[in-house]
Each structure stands twice: as C-alpha cells, then as structure tokens.
Amino acid sequence: MLVTLSNVNKGFLDEQVLEDINLSINELDRIGLLGVNGIGKSTLLNIISDCLQADGGTVSRKNGLVIGYHRQNEALDSQNTLSQEIKLALSEVYELRKELEALSLKISQTDASSPAYSLLESEYEKLNSRYIALDGYSAEVRINTVLNGLGFGEFDLEMKTASLSGGEKIRFSLAKILLQNPELLILDEPTNHLDFKMLEWLEDYLKGFKGAFLIVSHDRYFLDKTVDDICEIDGGTLYRYKGGYSAFLKQKEERLKLREREYEKQQAEIDKLRDYVQKNLARSSSANSVGSRVKALEKAESRLIKKPAARPKDIHFKFSFDIEPHKVVLTLKNVGVFVGNRVTGKQLYDNISLEVLNGEKIAIVGKNGVGKSSLIKAIMKKISFSGQIKFGGNVKVAYFDQELADLDLNDTVIEAVHKKFPSKTDFEIRSALGGLLIEDEAVFKKVRDLSGANRAKVQFCIIMFRRANVLILDEPTNHLDYVAKEALDEALKAFDGTLITVSHDRYFLNNVPTKIIEMFSDRLEIYNGNYDYYLEHRRLESTQSAPKKEASQNQLEYQSAKLNKAEERKKRAKINTLSKEIQTLEEEIASLKELSASEEVVTDYQKLSEVLEQIKEKENMLEEFENQWLELNL
C-alpha cells in the first residue's frame, strides 16, 4: 500500500469540495482521475502528495514513499541550463555516485585484511543497494530515452530554460519528473503540448513504468491506452471503476441506473408498508400482522438508501442546416501559405490540392508546425495564400477558431450572440445558451470573465444559429471537459453536412471523422477511415518501406544529426532576437499610446495623426514578429 485516504474532507470558505473521499493506491496501480472543471481534482492531488492538508479524515503514506508530482504549470528555474535542471532531478543519483566513487578509491587504498576494509566494504554495499534501487547505473540511458521521447534529443543542454517556449517548458518539467523514477507518479494533464509521436512515446513509457501512477487527463484516448482504473469525483464523492475511459462510461451509466432503481424499489416498499400500517393499526384482529409490518417498516427506514442526486443537466449541441449544397463543397488547387511577409517570412507549404465532397467528415493531422491551422485560416480567407480556394454552390460555412478570436471580450454573453444574429429574441438566445449550460445570470457575464470552456460554448451557440452545411472546426474540443466532449462527439456524428476539422484529440478523431488527411509540407496523404485505421496503415507503410530506407538512413544519419543541431541553434538564436524585438516594440507602442493621450497631442490634429500612424506601423511590425516567433515555437 502506497497511499490510503479514509473519509477525507476538504473545503474552502463555505464550499465543501471533497466529502468522505476513500481511495487506496497500491504498488503498480494505474489510475486515471476524472471530474468536470473545478470539481476538486487538483485539490485531491495536492492532498495525496502532502502539499495540502485535509480538513478531516486520515491520509496514510508508506514510510519513505517517493512521490513525483507534475503540476499543469510546473516551474523551471529560468537561470538554470537544461543540464542543471536534469542534475536537480537526479540529485540523489549523482550524490550517491560521488560517494561510491570516493568509497571505491578508499577501498583500493586500504589493506584488505584490515578491519577498516570490512567497514568500507559494508558501507559501499549499502550505498550501492540504494543506487541500484534508484536505477543509477542506467541514469544516462534514461536521460537520453526521456529527452528524445519528449522532443529534446537535438536541444543544446547548456541552453538556459528561459529560452524555451511555454510548451517546451511544460514538456521539460514533465521530463524532469519522469527522470526521478518515483514510486508514485502523479501527473496533472501531462498530454498538454505533446504531438502524436510524443503521446505514443509517453503511453509506451508508462506501460513499462515500474511504479504506480495517478493521472488527471482530459485526453480520453490516452486514458484508454494507459490506465487500469478510473476514479471520478462527482458531487464531492469519489467513485472507482475498473478499466479505461470507454469502460468507465458504460459502468458509470450502469451504476447510476442501479442506484436509481434500488432507491425507487425501497421507496415503493416503504410506501406499501406505511399504507398497510395506517389502514390496519386500529383493527385488533390484525394486531400481530400490523406489529410485524411496523417492525419491517422501522427496519427499512433505519437502512434508508440516500436519494440519488439529480443527474446533471445534459449539454445539447445540435448542428442543422436548411439548404443542401452541391456535390463538391470545396476545391483547393496548388495552394501555398506563408507566415509573415514574402521577404522575411516562412513558406509552410506549396502546391496543396484537395477536393471535399458533400457529407464527408475530414480531419487534418500532421506534425506541429506543418501548417494545419494555417490551411484552415487560408480556407476561411483569414490569411493570404497562393493558388485557388473555391467553395461549391449553396455552401454555407461556419468556422470555429481555437483561439476564439471572433468573440469581443468586452461583450456580455448575450451581446456576443446578438451581434451576430440581431433578429434573434432574448428568449431564443437564452434557450440556446441554456442548452449549453450557460444559464441565469451567466448570460450577462462579460466574455472575458468566462472560462475557456464557456467561451467555446458561446462560439458553438453562434455556429448552431448559423445553420451552416459546412463546419470548419479548428481544435473544437480543446477547452471542453470530458462530458461536453462526449456531447460534441455525438452531435457531430449526427450532423448530416460536411465537416473539416483540425484536432489533436485522438478519441474525437477515432469517433467522428470518416477520413484522415495527413499533411506534409509538399503533399497530403489520404486515409479513408478513423484514427485507428490511419495508425494501422501508417505502421504498415512504415514496415514495408523500412528495408528500402535502411541503407540510406545509415549513410545520412551522421550528417543529418549535425545539420539538425546547427538548424536548432540558428532557430534558438532567431527566437531570442525576435523576443527582444517584440519587447522593444511593445514598450515603444505603449509610450506612443501614452503620448497620443496627452493634451499637447490630442489638441494638435497633425501631431495626433503622425503619432497614430507611428502606432499603426509598429503594431504591424509587432504582428509580423509575433507570427514569426509563434511559427518558430510550433
């Protein structure tokens, strides 16, 4: 037994977050932890890892238990190099290694027949046992394995962590925790910022992990691949289910139905007993019978089944359209996209061609940075492109932007929808928002004050009102919890129109699209099936092409490694330069805006025009530099 929680309670101010939580974590347990946003998952992780004290109940941990806890926003020391951070993660291993080397030297210099020799030898064996337990002899192999698996194989380990992008910092902090090789691994949303290749590596790594782990994740596919049990926090109480995510869905529904049936059955029995007692209590001929029924009633009432909590309201997505489009809904011919301008920008791809037919459900996948979202934006005419992009007849498009940039943060929720559909009544808008569980006073909140999930729901409300026959969705499940994701999956499967989506959600990709298109810089590869079909055929292609590639691979490996390292250094230098230029421009823009508001400038039309023109020029430069920085960090 590693950790045991018995009747644990935790609240904040007047809100009870966790109530009578019971959980046992044993050696080799593989547990996924679920719960809607804000339900108390992180609170529970903090209690288990001894970062937070429970208000009541008991928490028992194995003596000397080593816990590795990776939070969603784990910090790195910005002054440290990557190498220094690795040494911090393996500090005990490196300390033991020094002590063993020193002892080994002493032993070599000590007479083997002396008492001191025996003492040194005994001490060496003790330290060596601990070193073996920490897997110290394979530390370097583990470092290379983990760094390569999480995309740091070509990074200069002497670079400062401050030079990493936000996503890279989170990935590197995950690498640090994995390198510690703890007895209990606690991971809070570990799949954030991982591409498909990294996700597959992490799944394989966890399958071979020698300890226990507890994972919070909204990645349903990942949970199916890695865990043996699902624990869900529901209404402050924890329920445990055997199997992965898909098994959990079925078992939870069965548990809820069984609980409801048991409660209804008991209530019917109690009502029947009460009715009999009331009717026959005054009749002496029935005294014995009534007495036995009274006892049965008292016994039943003493064992009352707690009334099941009302089920949470279902979230309702529904996508409908009025006009049937022509057979070909979208044509791309020799399309190319640049990020930045033609002089200093980067060409993501060129000569991309595609024909999309009515009713197809297509998902576009590919490596980070290949330009999937840029292609979607080009289709929506939001960025410049070369070649031809043409929609078919009777096509009506609705677009979901993963950044939710189409929403004005200063609008209230109801204003945001009204702006797009001024003819809709408040009742119609509030009814649609209510179906997405944005109710009552929440409709008058500013968009800026909403969670990411509720902002996404506002955007989906607008899309549903649009009644489009072609949906173009960029990372539609990103902000949603697993309950909302399930509802969105079902609604899109039921949609009779055309779907084009970019997504990293593999569970979604397995359930909704009927065609997967893998994007490369110079071509598209089409797979007529879901994500599992795509994976299977990719592996077959890889197996068949492996013998042909082996010889050339060996010849080019050394040169490729050298080139990759050189390119990586150039890339890092460019990122650092752009960061400084962006900071300088932001400061200059802020100063100019302050100047534009001064009395001297406001009252002089010519000066004001000149200042505003300077602001516009610098803002355009800032946008260009930010696009370049973003593309380099993808």
Contact of 154 with 572, CB cutoff 8 Å: no
pLDDT tens digit string along 222-231? 999 999 999 9
Closest CA to 482 of 16, 9, 39: 39
Chain-centre distance for alpha carbon 563: 33
Sheet with 3-12: list strands edge to edge: 15-25, 3-12, 56-61
Select from 504, 509, 417 the least CA-distant residue to 463: 417
pLDDT, one tens digit per residue, over 417-467 is: 999 999 999 999 999 999 999 999 999 999 999 988 999 999 999 999 999
Compute φ and ψ for 329, nearest 5 degrees: -95, -25
Give the separation between CA 442 and CA 444, rounded to whole angstroms.
5
Give the pLDDT confidence score for residue 594 in this predicted structure.
78
d(Cα 39, Cα 439) in Å, to the nearest integer?
Answer: 19
pTM of the predicted model as reported, rounded to 2 decimal places: 0.74
Q: Which fold has domain 1-76+164-243?
A: Rossmann fold (3.40.50)
Q: Which of 235-244, 434-443, 555-564 has the lowest mean pLDDT?
A: 555-564
Written as six digits, the tokens of 485 are: 């994701």
pLDDT in tens, 316-339: 999 999 999 999 999 999 998 877
Crossing angle between the packed helical segments 245-280 and 287-302, to the nearest 10 degrees: 150
Helix (H) or strand (E) holding 351: strand 346-357
C-alpha closest to that of 12 among 34, 40, 33, 36: 40
Return the pLDDT at 312.
Answer: 76
Q: Would you say 450 and 413 are in contact if contact means Cβ atoms under 8 Å apart?
A: yes
Q: What is the pLDDT of residue 632?
A: 66
For 384-412, the pLDDT digits (tens) are: 888 999 999 999 999 999 888 889 999 99
Q: Cβ(497)–Cβ(471) under 8 Å?
A: yes
Note the pLDDT of residue 246: 93
What's the mean pLDDT in 108-133? 90
3-state secondary structure of 160: strand
546: confidence class by pLDDT, cuts 50, 70, 90: low
CA distance 125 to 104: 11
Task: Please tell me the chain's helix, strand, coil percentages from 3-state DSSP, rounded to the nearest 5.
Answer: 50, 20, 30
Q: How far apart are CA 448 and CA 274, in angstroms?
A: 55
CB 2 within 8 A of CB 20: no
In 134-193, where does DSSP find H-type helix?
139-149, 166-180
**Cα angle 240, 244, 246; round to 5:** 105
Q: Which residues of 340-376 are buried (b: 16+ CB within 10 A; e: fewer)?
A: beeeebeebbeebebebebbbbbbbbbebbbbbbbbb
Instruction: Please state, in angstroms and rounded to a whole number, the distance separating the CA atoms of residues 597 and 64.
Output: 62
> Which one of 92-96, 105-109, 394-398, 581-585 scores highest in mean pLDDT?
394-398
Domain spanning 328-545: which CATH class is it, in words? alpha beta
Q: Is the pLDDT of residue 513 over 90?
A: yes
DSSP state for residue 543 in the 8-state scheme: H
CA distances from 75 to 161, 451, 576 (A): 10, 23, 20
Q: Which residue has the higher pLDDT, 632 or 410?
A: 410
Q: Indicate if the pLDDT at residue 549 is higher than 90.
A: no
